[in-house]
Structure 1
Amino acid sequence: MKKLFVAAAILLSALSFSQGSPDYGGGLKVNINEDGSKYFRIISWAQFWAQNNSDRPLDANGNEQSDTNFSLRRARVLMYAQISKDFMILTHFGLNSLNGDNMSPVGTKDASQLFFHDVWAQYSLGKDHAIGGGLHYWNGISRLNNQSTLNIMTLDNQRQAWATLGLSDQFARHMGVYLKGALGKFQYRVSINDAVTNNLQATTVPVSGGAATYTGRRLLGSKDAGRTFAGYFEYGFLDSESNFLPYKVGTYLGGKKVFNVGAGFFAHPNGSVVADNLGNLSGEDVKIFALDAFYDAPIGTNGGALTAYALYQNNDYGKNFTLGTTYETGSLFHGYLGYVLPVKTKAKFQPYVSYDSRKIEALNDNATQFGIGTNMFLSGHNAKLTLEYQSLKYATSDAVNTLTLQAMIYL
């Protein structure tokens, strides 16, 4: 199967491409009045993965697992409608990470089900500000916690940056109200939300004298531990980015000249719970904040472009909190760098590298992750192939090495 990936890499250098996405235009947009002030737009996308990982553990029955597996990483449909100049509604549904282990015979199990990612309505407060509510993605913390999955530069988003996914929210979306807008080159988004009760630790209780668990709303009640607060603030020194929708662009491929710096936070009072040596429960505040910077600009006159991003994030989920190899009290540094090659071919190639370093309080140790890959754009982000090698070293565990080929189309 490794030969397949080598052949795919050769294919990436042989196919042709027309720069940008001229066939896509404004997308699937339908005007419902003559002047176009009332309309709806539909966006649909799918990401298919072929993944090789020689370090997979034995399955539940003690059998060896295949090194190579296929999955439907994402299949989504998003629609938004501008009812008038003041009102908008957005609906977004789909599924994620469907594979041979979680598919069901007739498509009735959880992994096969479509679910709502976003459902929110919005009212404009003048030209540059708006208020809204529902199941929304106007998140705090960082650019990556507001990342669009249509135009990620690397294979996928940095997982720890989606820092509340499944802990206080439903798949990175909270139920609540938000306020967003712009003051010149300064943009902001703030929100007040309900935390979920049935999260990734829905059956967990803290151990006497042990680490915190993210169980505040369930064990302490919604009055004391039911609210979360978030915000993200950024200043753009060069071209302004749109904040019409909450989804942040991963790379513009040189289509804009952007340099933004940002800061954000997430707070969940009494979100985590600890038990003293007698078993008495008390809440611990969950506090996350981040600083980041994003740069994207064309280079020269032959289509070259540079994309760079850096993030520092501090996570406090409570005393010695860890959950798998994804969440932990500690700190994170993440960065990526990509370069669109200035070649006069129809294919548009963007090699890139990424690097993470995490400090884990409970283990008094680190985790590091390195990625190297190439995007091949067949029609901008609307049709692309990505090949990435990634190596994760978590504390004293052996490194896990993964090679992934992704095919993506969105309309």
Structure 2
Amino acid sequence: MKKLFISLAWLSSSFALAQQPVNPSTQSDPVKSSTLIISGTVTTSPKPAVEKNELKYNLNESGSHFFKITFLNQAWLRYNQSNPGTTVISEPKDNTFDIGLRRTRMQLFGQISDHVYLYFQFGMNNFNYLNGGFNPNASSNRKIHAFFHDAVGEYVVWKNKDYLKIGSGLTIANGLSRFSQPSVSSIMSMDVPVFAQATVDQTDQFSRKLSLYARGQVGHLDYRVAISDPFPIQTSGSALPTYGPNSVFALKGHHKQFQGLLLWQFFDKEAHQTPGYMTGTYLGAKKVFNLEAGFITQKNAMVSVPTAADTVYQNMNLWSVASFLDMPVNKEKGTAVNAYLGYFYTDYGTNYLRFNGIMNPASGVASGYVSGTQGNAFPMFGTGSVVYGQFGYLMKRDLFGTSNGTLMSYIQVQIADYQRLSQKMGVYNVGLNYLIKGHNGKLTLDYQNRPYYEAVSGSSQLSSGGRRGQLTLQYQVFI
């Protein structure tokens, strides 16, 4: 690991040096200059160097062949009202305050030739004082959570055209929706709607899968289709699911997963460089309005045991339709809007339900409470349907003065109708971004209001017992 970071430091410095003009007469002077001739006198006036916003090494003179490196860090300070029964390292806790790293990533990617593209992403997620989980019966190792998220090689069939790109490797390029493959450095809200990453850390690696895919843009159509080789649930790192009347991921059998996403782009075309990743907001730099439809399907992915004599395998079938809008309101002022509305049909088999809490600040739940409901968890995934919407407004450019940034407010609504819940579930977020330097440096304050759930006597149904809140401050730095 030490050698890796030494190599990256050397690579970063090499990028910077490679972009400097090699001119013996000016190489020692970091300030570029311009020369004026006035009445026969030569006068030199300093000109500030152009500020760069990326670490990029050009492999040819035009820059069409290049290699880049990026770094992202999202640090959270969070106060959470705990769900009933929450324990933190075996002590009851009504509320928690924690500091953590939601995401820490580095990307290395580039167009190596007219037809060859390479992409890697390395990093870690959900690193707080519990390090993503707590096992009181085992020794812990807080150094094991950084891993390769992506490792993809891609072939561009037509030179300088996005008509068809074929890739394979570990990748997030998949179906269902744009939020199943989000570019997390550019999202409008503090966090993405994670339910759209349908099998996250169950049969994938933090939403990435070993896949063979084709993607491209032809006219107004943006498409991606993939065949994936899902991981068995036995390799998820969590306790194995117990067979019963409610569907779980199967412990037997292995079938390929098929998925696809189609988008019709009415105005500007969206970015198409990195495999899969879709921008959260362009902050008014583009005029984007898309309609999308996506799906994921896998044979016999789920299993339930309704009676002692029956073991029933069921297909996993997920699909969605949605609209996405991101465009300027007033170009002179720099104001813009962002909006998304989607419907998700999620069939994981009979009565499937999974609680999840993002970077959960709790380690357990007391006896007598529903398993997995500790901390900030809520029923994030389930068989049924979900309506998700978000809306944001970007205020005028340089709201606080030149180079002092601006604000973008937003709301998020997730309404789920899952089989095992006795009523519909609503999770609501409101937030405010302080865009110090666009997405490269921003502060986000987010408040979430969510329900918590209790068992219904004599039934497998769960009922909401009340609501809890969570307040989070995120500081994002990205280059």
Q: TM-score, normalised by structure 2?
A: 0.75
Distance in 1 between residues matched to 2:441 and 2:340, nearest whole Å: 23
The answer to whether residue 60 in structure 2 is matched with residue 33 in structure 1 is yes
**Residues 202, 194 of structure 1: CA spacing in aligned structure 2 closer, same or farther, 3 A cutoff?**
farther
**Residues 252, 146 of structure 1: CA spacing in aligned structure 2 closer, same or farther, 3 A cutoff?**
same
Task: After TM superposition, give the deviation of residue 202 of structure 1 in Å.
Answer: 5.8
**Residues 188, 369 of structure 1: CA spacing in aligned structure 2 closer, same or farther, 3 A cutoff?**
same
Task: After TM superposition, give the deviation of residue 289 of structure 1 in Å.
Answer: 0.3
Question: In structure 2, which of residues 330, 347, 366 is the aligned counterpart of residue 316 of structure 1?
Answer: 347
Distance in 2 between residues matched to 1:213 and 1:52, nearest whole Å: 32
Q: TM-score, normalised by structure 1?
A: 0.87
Matched ranges for 1:190-201 at <5 A? 190-197=225-232, 198-199=235-236
**Aligned-residue RMSD, C-alpha:** 2.0
> 1:162-182 CA distances to partner (integer Å, 9 max, x unpaired)?
112122211101102000011
Give the corresponding residue for 1:407. Answer: 475
- Structure 1 unaligned regions, length at least 5: 1-21
- Which moved further from structure 2: 341-350 or 246-255? 341-350
Question: In structure 2, which of residues 85, 93, 98 is the aligned counterpart of residue 64 of structure 1?
Answer: 93
Distance in 1 between residues matched to 2:132 and 2:150, nearest whole Å: 24
Aligned length: 379
Question: In structure 1, which of residues 84, 89, 113 is the aligned counterpart of residue 118 of structure 2?
Answer: 89
Contact 2:174 2:259 in 1 (8 A): yes
Distance in 2 between residues matched to 1:172 and 1:103, nearest whole Å: 16
The answer to whether residue 249 in structure 2 is matched with residue 214 in structure 1 is yes
> 1:162-205 CA distances to partner (integer Å, 9 max, x unpaired)?
11212221110110200001110101000001111123776223
- Give 1:272's aligned amino acid: M
Contact 2:211 2:228 in 1 (8 A): yes
Distance in 1 between residues matched to 2:246 and 2:336, nearest whole Å: 46
The answer to whether residue 325 in structure 2 is matched with residue 295 in structure 1 is yes
Q: Does 1 or 2 have the higher relative contact order (CA < 8 Å, sep 6+)?
A: 1
- Give 2:432's aligned amino acid: T
Identical amino acids, percent of aligned pairs: 31
- Give 1:297's aligned amino acid: M
Distance in 2 between residues matched to 1:119 and 1:306, nearest whole Å: 34
> 1:127-158 CA distances to partner (integer Å, 9 max, x unpaired)?
22111100011110011111111011111001
Question: In structure 1, which of residues 28, 42, 46 is the aligned counterpart of residue 69 of structure 2?
Answer: 42
Question: In structure 2, which of residues 177, 199, 222 is the aligned counterpart of residue 164 of structure 1?
Answer: 199
Distance in 1 between residues matched to 2:128 and 2:333, nearest whole Å: 41
Give the corresponding residue for 1:117. Answer: 149
**Residues 296, 199 of structure 1: CA spacing in aligned structure 2 closer, same or farther, 3 A cutoff?**
same
The answer to whether residue 477 in structure 2 is matched with residue 392 in structure 1 is no
Contact 1:96 1:111 in 2 (8 A): no
Matched ranges for 1:326-345 at <5 A? 326-342=380-396, 344=399, 345=401
Aligned with 1:67: secondary structure? strand
Distance in 1 between residues matched to 2:237 and 2:350, nearest whole Å: 18
**Residues 50, 288 of structure 1: CA spacing in aligned structure 2 closer, same or farther, 3 A cutoff?**
same
Contact 1:95 1:111 in 2 (8 A): no
Give the corresponding residue for 1:9. Answer: none
**Residues 141, 98 of structure 1: CA spacing in aligned structure 2 closer, same or farther, 3 A cutoff?**
same
> 1:15-44 CA distances to partner (integer Å, 9 max, x unpaired)?
xxxxxxx9444x111023334343211011
- Which moved further from structure 2: 391-400 or 61-70? 61-70
Give the corresponding residue for 1:130. Answer: 165
Give the corresponding residue for 1:101. Answer: 130
